[in-house]
Amino acid sequence: MALKITALAGGTGGAKLVDGLTTLLEPDKLTLVVNTGDDFEHLGLAISPDLDTVTYTLAGLANPQSGWGRTDETWNFLQTLKEFGSPVWFRLGDRDLALHVERTRRMKAGLPLSDVTRAFCRIFGIDHVILPMTDDPVRTIVETDDGDLPFQEYFVKHSHEPQVRGFRFEGIENAKPAPGFLQAIEDSEAVILCPSNPWVSIDPILALSGVREALEGKVTVGVSPIIGGQAVRGPAAKMFQAMGITPSACAVAEHYQQILSGILIDEVDAELAPEIEALGIRTKVTQTMMKTQPDRKRLAEEVLAFTAELIEAESRR
């Protein structure tokens, strides 16, 4: 496995594949770029949900049940905060809170998010590079029938129930890709789009200035987050529907059509393979559900093998 890879990821699903990839690729062979459109300020704290999910996952601290936050967590802060009538819809555990307080402190002292993230990785013993997609503020707004909602309000406070009409990424025009992000793509033989929500996890990353240009001519491999027409977790399927598209692995492939060399889809969606191949996107059918730790590694192996095939095919053209 000598491939050099950049992987783009959001939260839970992305973090799982990323976890698998880190077991197969040395730190100098893999750069992880994580969505920060979900970031927000809450109770005066700078919170980066996707970054934290990836960080906690690679640190072996992620809570496997919830898909967010830490294991071995306590909730005395939040319980007390509730007595003050403060907003407690975003659940901050006592240990998790230390990360947010410390990140806020460092950012207020002038450090960019990417520096803070690098320092946290060092503290957590994570050798792989985790880059926030940008050091500049980008805020995903979900346009709904109940009005415009910052992503966490839509997702957590309103349990992703409001009817979606569209998305926008506030600040994206002025946001620069984090230092090292575009260089990582340039240095990589392939880019992997992890099985994260296309609309709100991967699209913000792709919308950053220069990213789509950097992907031109690069082997780009996706993993469908839609399995059997459903999202494994979260509102991805609902979002496709809201945008007038039947959710499917094929819809995911079409969504990324401009940049995608190949896509891995689940066995339950095998019948969609010809339709996706017809889009000019090479398709690999496999088990894509990651329920256990070994699933993560196995899927990562499949992704890398398929990517190697595509690079090989590309080089023969």
Interaction between residue 83 and a copy of itself (CB under 8 A): yes
| List 28, 64, 105, 258, residue binding a copy of itself (CB under 8 A) | 105
Interaction between residue 123 and a copy of itself (CB under 8 A): yes
Tokens matching residue 154? 């839509």
| List 29, 71, 97, 229, residue binding a copy of itself (CB under 8 A) | 97
Which residues does 168 contact at the CB level (< 8 Å), separation at least 6? 140, 141, 143
Interaction between residue 246 and a copy of itself (CB under 8 A): no
Closest to a copy of itself by CB, 77 vs 218, is 77
CB 29 within 8 Å of CB 2: yes
Longest dimension (CA), the chain: 66
Closest to a copy of itself by CB, 115 vs 143, is 115
User: Could you give the angle at the alpha carbon of 50 between the alpha carbons of 44 and 56, nearest 5°?
Assistant: 95
What single letter denotes the amino acid at residue 83?
E
Which residues does 250 contact at the CB level (< 8 Å), separation at least 6? 269, 272, 275, 276
Q: What's the half-sphere exposure (Cβ side, CA atoms, 13 Å) at 261? A: 23
CB 224 within 8 Å of CB 252: yes
Closest to a copy of itself by CB, 44 vs 244, is 44
| List 84, 216, 316, 317, residue binding a copy of itself (CB under 8 A) | 84
Rounded to the nearest whole angstrom, what is the least distance from the CB of residue 47 to a copy of itself in the complex? 13
Question: From the CB of residue 190, how many other CB atoms can be counted at a distance below 10 Å?
Answer: 24
Closest to a copy of itself by CB, 100 vs 296, is 100
Interaction between residue 77 and a copy of itself (CB under 8 A): yes
Q: Rounded to whole angstroms, how far apart are CA atoms 100 and 123? A: 14
Closest to a copy of itself by CB, 86 vs 292, is 86
| List 44, 110, 217, 244, residue binding a copy of itself (CB under 8 A) | 44
What single letter denotes the amino acid at residue 293?
Q
| List 24, 43, 111, 279, residue binding a copy of itself (CB under 8 A) | 43
Q: Rounded to whole angstroms, how far apart are CA atoms 191 and 173? A: 23
Q: Tell me the number of residues near a copy of itself by CB under 8 A.
A: 28
Closest to a copy of itself by CB, 86 vs 183, is 86
| List 29, 63, 71, 81, residue binding a copy of itself (CB under 8 A) | 81
Closest to a copy of itself by CB, 86 vs 163, is 86
DSSP 3-state percent helix, strand, coil across the chain (nearest 5):
45, 20, 35
Q: Rounded to whole angstroms, how far apart are CA atoms 164 and 145? A: 7
Q: Rounded to whole angstroms, how far apart are CA atoms 57 and 15? A: 6
Tokens matching residue 93? 């555990």
Interaction between residue 60 and a copy of itself (CB under 8 A): no
Interaction between residue 120 and a copy of itself (CB under 8 A): yes
Q: Which stretch binds a copy of itself (CB under 8 A): 20-28, 39-47, 182-190, 280-288?
A: 39-47
Closest to a copy of itself by CB, 123 vs 278, is 123
Interaction between residue 59 and a copy of itself (CB under 8 A): no
Q: Rounded to whole angstroms, how far apart are CA atoms 172 and 188? A: 24
Rounded to the nearest whole angstrom, what is the least distance from the CB of residue 258 to a copy of itself in the complex? 41
Q: For binding to a copy of itself (CB under 8 A), which residues are involved?
A: 43-45, 73-74, 76-81, 83-86, 93-95, 97-99, 101-102, 104-105, 108, 120, 123
